Amino acid sequence: MSAVKAWSEPSLAASAAHCAGIVRREARNFYHGLRLAPEPRRSALYAVYAWMRRADDLVDDGGPDRIEQVAAFRAATERAFAGHLPDSDPMWPALARSIGDHGLVRADFDGMLDGQRLDAEHRPCRDWSEVRHFCDLVAGTVGRTCTRIFGASDPEAMRLSTDRGIAFQLTNILRDLREDHGMGRCYLPVDELSRAGLDPASLLAWTDAPRCESFMMAQVERCVAHYRSSAPLDGLIDGSCRPTLWAMTAIYGGIARRIRDRPRSVVEVRVALPAGAKLLVALRARLGWHGGAYVP
């Protein structure tokens, strides 16, 4: 039985459709890229996203017992890796199938949940090493998982996909600066803020424009450096998946480019690409109207 035909089995098809609905509803930046992937890889990516959405929601919406909920979700995920459906959640059949089809690694899923737990118990990151560790847990793990679905699993692809995931997460950190501060969170390195004579409040107030701009430029250049260092990844994955990776990177990298062009924007608005720009990215990816890897 072919992989595509197996995904058409009623229970699995229903699970895949459920996960696809979550992506359409929630993945404002990822959706335009993920939908370009060929089946059955597309359904596998949707299943992984649906799992991540569940994990993220446990921390953001789980209430005072969210640590216990993350632990229970970890145990359920362990059962899925063992080939069992943990409960009646329609996400699990598609995820369990994806684990088997693509050799997904449980350590990366555990790492994602470790990152969620760190987020739930948030404390400021003291330096770049702590920021990088957090980014690897919540995004490098995702990069490695997606890269396996894209058809590459060698050590170099894993290293490059870690850098790509970190680039995406650093983009999130810069974009969400105001929103995170409102929730009592900050993911910028405290020692670098201190050396710049700043703290999160003074940065958001943009009280010393030259100092604030210099600090933000250093942060966004570090972010862009991770896009640059991960550029060879596009050449290592299955050719049918390159439009997906290019589109996702162009959308996130486009946000990083906007921040680099005007660093102050992060304290004024939530920087984003307009819907029309995202659709144009998707069209260029689908038609192959782009060069190599996207670098902001």
CA distance 262 to 43: 37
At 176, is the pLDDT very low, low, confident or very high (cuts 50, 70, 90)?
very high
Q: Give the pLDDT mean for 5-22.
A: 87
Q: Give the pLDDT mean for 199-216.
A: 96
Q: Give the pLDDT mean for 266-280.
A: 92
pLDDT in tens, 245-265: 999 999 999 999 999 999 999
Binning the chain into helix, strand and coil, the percentages to the nearest 5 are 75, 0, 25
Lowest-confidence range among 2-16, 155-169, 180-194, 224-238?
2-16
Answer yes or no: is pLDDT of 45 > 50. yes
Lowest-confidence range among 115-124, 125-134, 217-226, 228-237?
115-124
Q: Can you state the angle between helices 10-26 and 41-61, rounded to 10 degrees? A: 60
Q: Give the pLDDT mean for 262-274.
A: 94
Which pLDDT value is given to residue 49?
97
Q: Give the pLDDT mean for 215-234.
A: 97
Compute, in degrees rounded to 10, the torsion defined by CA atoms 177, 202, 183, 132.
50
At 5, is the pLDDT very low, low, confident or very high (cuts 50, 70, 90)?
low
Phi and psi at 38, nearest 5°, equal: -75, 150
Residue linked to tokens 């899925």: 80
Which pLDDT value is given to residue 75?
96
Answer yes or no: is pLDDT of 100 > 80. yes
pLDDT in tens, 179-196: 999 988 899 999 999 999
CA distance 56 to 84: 22
Q: Give the pLDDT mean for 95-122.
A: 93
Which pLDDT value is given to residue 62?
62
Residue-range domains of the chain with CATH: 7-121 (1.10.600.10), 123-296 (1.10.600.10)
Q: Which of 155, 158, 136, 130 is nearest to 146 (CA)?
A: 158
Note whether 215 and 266 are within 8 A (CB).
Answer: no
- Sequence-ordered list of residues with C-beta below 8 angstroms from that of 210, at least 6 positions apart, any chain: none
Which pLDDT value is given to residue 2?
47
Which pLDDT value is given to residue 17?
95
Q: Give the pLDDT mean for 19-44.
A: 92
Answer yes or no: is pLDDT of 290 > 80. no
Prediction pTM value = 0.93
CA distance 270 to 179: 8
Higher pLDDT, 110 or 27: 110
Answer yes or no: is pLDDT of 54 > 90. yes
Which pLDDT value is given to residue 1?
41
